[in-house]
């Protein structure tokens, strides 16, 4: 009994310190993303790139939907629902990949400028590229979590990795909620 209690309190202690570390990482990353937003408005002012409004809306909807399924996955594992956790995580991975295809595979090809052509191009590719890198990192983390979940490594009592991946994923989604209007909606089209 004592060993079980010690192992549980050790797990809770490690989870607490890991949680603090994750939030400090997210805070530091938020400053970088915030700096990109400030740069966007400093360099472009009240203008914006002439980007596909429809594609911007579609990739945003995909990312927001992925956050919904990640929340479902995390909630499922908290209640010991392994199948619900696996399904939600897999859907999140697929939607994350679709987001990357939409932004990097399609939007970058359709953009009316090439990287480094001007300040607008530089800020567009830097913002979307840095965000896409974080989405890709999140997808990789989710693949690892999914594979471990298939092996039964998470339970209602032990699922810190799932929680951490979910927190990171939601952070990346929230960043896009700010990037999307800054790039696609605010200001007049530069021309």
Q: What is the pLDDT of residues 5-47, one digit of tens each?
A: 555 566 665 766 788 899 999 999 999 999 999 999 998 898 8
Q: Determine, yes or no, domain membership for 19.
A: yes
| Cα separation values, 19 from 12, 62, 124, 169, 189, Å | 10, 27, 32, 14, 42
Residue 95 lies in a domain: yes
Question: Mean pLDDT lowest for which of 162-166, 168-172, 183-187?
Answer: 183-187
Q: What pLDDT sits at residue 189?
A: 86
Contact 16, 153 (CB under 8 A): no
pLDDT of residue 17: 73
The two structure tokens encoding residue 153: 């490594």
Tokens of 32: 């970088």
Contact 185, 44 (CB under 8 A): no
Count Cα atoms within 13 angstroms, Cβ side, for 157. Answer: 8
- Asked whether 173 and 142 are in contact (CB, 8 A), the reply is no
Res 187: pLDDT: 86
Express each pLDDT in 43-100 by its tens digit.
Answer: 889 888 999 999 999 999 999 999 999 999 999 999 999 999 999 999 999 999 999 9
Higher pLDDT, residue 109 or 16: 109
Confidence at residue 115, expressed as pLDDT on a 0 to 100 scale? 87
Residue with token string 């408005």? 41
**Which residue reads 């991975």 in tokens?**
93
Q: What pLDDT, on the 0 to 100 scale, is given for residue 13?
A: 57
3-state secondary structure at position 116: coil
At 189 the three-state DSSP class reads: strand
CATH number at residue 161: 1.20.120.80
Q: Sign of the C-alpha dihedral, residues 42, 44, 45, 49?
A: negative
pTM equals 0.90
Token pair, residue 179, equals 């990037």
For residue 139, the model assigns a pLDDT of 99
> Which helix or strand (DSSP H or E) is residue 47 part of?
strand 47-48
Domain for residue 191, yes or no?
no
* Higher-scoring residue by pLDDT: 158, 33: 33
Residue 136 falls inside a structural domain:
yes
pLDDT above 90 (res 126): yes
Domain that holds residue 122: 2-186
Number of folded domains that form the chain? 1
Rounded Cα distance between 38 and 51, Å, is 20
Asked if pLDDT for residue 140 goes beyond 80, the answer is yes
Confirm whether 173 is domain-assigned: yes
10 Å CB burial of residue 189 (0-12, 13-18, 19+) is: exposed
Tell me the H-state helices in 45-159. 53-78, 82-100, 108-110, 119-150
């Amino acid at each position: 009994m004592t060993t079980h209690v010690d192992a549980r309190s050790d797990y809770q202690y490690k989870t607490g310190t890991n949680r603090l570390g994750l939030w400090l990482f997210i805070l530091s990353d938020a400053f970088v993303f915030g700096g990109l937003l400030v740069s966007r408005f400093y360099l472009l002012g009240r203008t914006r790139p002439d980007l596909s409004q429809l594609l911007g809306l579609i990739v945003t909807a995909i990312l927001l939907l992925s956050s919904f399924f990640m929340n479902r996955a995390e909630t499922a594992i908290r209640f010991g629902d392994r199948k619900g956790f696996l399904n939600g995580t897999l859907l999140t991975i697929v939607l994350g990949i679709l987001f990357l295809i939409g932004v990097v595979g399609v939007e970058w090809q359709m953009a009316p400028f090439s990287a480094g052509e001007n300040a607008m191009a530089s800020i567009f590719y830097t913002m979307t590229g840095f965000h896409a890198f974080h989405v890709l990192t999140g997808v990789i983390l989710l693949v690892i979590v999914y594979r471990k979940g298939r092996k039964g490594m998470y339970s209602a009592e032990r699922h810190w990795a799932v929680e951490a991946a979910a927190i990171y994923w939601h952070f990346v989604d929230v960043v896009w909620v700010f990037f999307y209007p800054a790039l696609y909606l605010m200001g007049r089209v530069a021309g």
